[in-house]
Amino acid sequence: MSVLEFSRLREDPGWLERVVIRPVTAADLPLLEWEGKYLHFRRVFAGAFERQLAGLSVLWIAVLDCWAAGQVFIQYDSDRKELADGVERAYLYSFRVRPELRGQSLGTRIHQVVEEDLLQRGYRYITLNVAKENLRAQALYRRLGYRYIAHEPGRWSYPDHEGVWHQVEEPAWRMEKRLFRE
């Protein structure tokens, strides 16, 4: 689907009902690259998928007419227990919604699916790191009930699709939400 086709979806009031939010399969991995925009994360996605197969995480994809409209990854355990402890605290990352579809409730819907799944697994908290520059995402997270917990230096690295390592420094806020059933 082209950017123009995604943009036209805003004119179709029923598009959101056609979105299927489900765990990623091996066949979905190319969809996570968003037609090359995130090709450089191919190895990151493959590693996250391997962790899903081992039961250490779950990768969610929001599919619309065979295209990735959004995604989010949940990590159950981490060596940083303040992020994910494998018991009651899980870590949300790589949360994306197509720019053309933002502000249309898709991010909220994805988040609801994730929360329900975590509640069923017995988790009580969900944490995330959000770039300090990403004010729109921070507003969404605050609206969803997250609160600021700490500053994060945002230093991480990854191998791109060609195996070249990249260092990233993206100062962030750690945010947290207590999960509960209403």
Q: Using CA atoms, how far apart are residues 69 and 40, in angstroms rounded to an integer?
A: 19
Domains of the chain by start residue, with CATH: 3-178 (3.40.630.30)
Minimum mean pLDDT among 7-16, 139-148, 152-161: which range? 7-16
More confident of the two residues 116 and 6 = 116
| CA dist 101 → 7, 55, 98 (Å) | 7, 30, 5
Q: How far apart are the first and last CA of the chain?
A: 37
Judge if pTM exceeds 0.75: yes
Q: Using CA atoms, how far apart are residues 135 and 143, in angstroms rounded to an integer?
A: 12
CB 71 within 8 A of CB 32: yes
Q: Nearest-CA neighbor of 46 among 144, 161, 147, 124? A: 161
Q: Using CA atoms, how far apart are residues 6 and 118, in angstroms rounded to an integer?
A: 30
Residues 20-78: pLDDT tens digits?
999 999 999 999 999 999 999 999 999 999 999 999 999 999 999 889 999 999 999 99
Q: Using CA atoms, how far apart are residues 64 and 69, in angstroms rounded to an integer?
A: 6
Residues 101-148: pLDDT tens digits?
999 999 999 999 999 999 999 999 999 999 999 999 999 999 999 999
Alpha helix segments (H runs only) across 15-123: 15-18, 42-53, 106-120
CB 109 within 8 A of CB 16: yes
Q: Which two tokens stand for residue 90?
A: 């899980």
Given this model, what pLDDT does residue 122 score? 97
Q: Is the pLDDT of residue 92 over 60?
A: yes
Given this model, what pLDDT does residue 4 score? 53
Given this model, what pLDDT does residue 3 score? 55
Given this model, what pLDDT does residue 14 score? 85
Residue 148 forms beta bridges with which residues?
175
Q: Which two tokens stand for residue 22?
A: 């489900």
